[in-house]
Amino acid sequence: IRHGGDRAFYSPALDFIQMPPFETFRDAQAYYATISHESTHWTRHATRLDRDLGGKRFGDDGYSREELVAE
């Protein structure tokens, strides 16, 4: 997990989670909700659950399905 920047995301190509600094979240609950969401995306990697739902871009069916899994 890398901290910095202003966006939270999982990078499948580089296999890391990027999180903004803890202090930028409104409270601890918001931080942990976000890191839990991104950690679910982390499980999709081929070395873990190997979950390929297709679609890699925002709006694709596969992207939407992956977001539903993470929620």
pLDDT by residue (tens digit) across 5-53? 999 999 999 999 999 999 999 999 999 999 999 999 999 999 999 998 8
Predicted model pTM: 0.88
pLDDT at 56: 76
The enclosing H or E element of 62 equals helix 61-70
Residues contacting residue 2 through CB under 8 Å, at least 6 positions apart: 16, 17, 18, 19
Name the domain count of the chain. Answer: 1
Range of the domain at 42: 2-70
Confirm if 21 and 3 have CB atoms less than 8 A apart.
Answer: yes
Break the chain down into helix, strand, coil percent, rounded to 5: 40, 15, 50
User: What are the backbone dihedrals phi and psi of residue 11, each rounded to the nearest 5 degrees, phi first?
Assistant: -100, 105
